[in-house]
Amino acid sequence: MFYKILTVAALATFEIYAAIPAGFAFKLNPFVIFAASTVGGLVGVFVAAYLGDLIKKWLSKLRKPAAEKPKKEPGFILKIWEKYGVIGLGLLGTMTVGAPISIGVGVGFNVPTNKMVFWCSLGVLIRCTLFTAIGYFGLQLF
């Protein structure tokens, strides 16, 4: 049982979409699935945020200043960033592509790490609650 819970938490560190169905496949209690996936997701947020910040600082030491490039039309992600800001990136990004990718984009946009961690953690909590409930009630239909 311990290894099943640990597997769910480890999967949630990278992708919650894989962790919650794995918990149901292991026939774990929904509350255990919720707790393990939430803990794993939060560990993923903190690891991505603080290791990403360290990697960015290390890369900035190695990088030389680039020559001035001509301005282009802003991309899709930048438009979303300008429209929704940190909250959109933290909540919507975590719900769609996952917390580590959202943190990576936030680090790329020079978002303060503590703000990104807060909003991505809230996104992980909402995501785990929502998908565990959907899985539980979906299995009750069968």
pLDDT digits 0-9 by tens, 44-55: 999 888 887 787
pLDDT digits 0-9 by tens, 2-36: 999 999 999 999 888 899 999 999 999 999 999 99
Residue 69 within a domain:
no
Domain total in the chain:
1
Tokens representing 3 are: 């290894």
Residue 119 within a domain:
yes
pLDDT confidence bin for 59, thresholds 50/70/90: confident
pLDDT digits 0-9 by tens, 65-122: 666 666 666 666 677 678 888 888 888 888 888 888 888 888 878 888 889 899 999 9
Host domain of residue 10 = 2-59+75-140
Q: How far is residue 137's CA from residue 134's CA, in Å, rounded to a whole number?
A: 5
Residue 126 within a domain:
yes
pLDDT at 43: 93
User: What are the CB-based long-range contacts (under 8 Å, 24+) for 23-26?
Assistant: 23/132, 23/135, 24/135, 24/136, 24/139
Residue 54 within a domain:
yes
Residue 108 within a domain:
yes
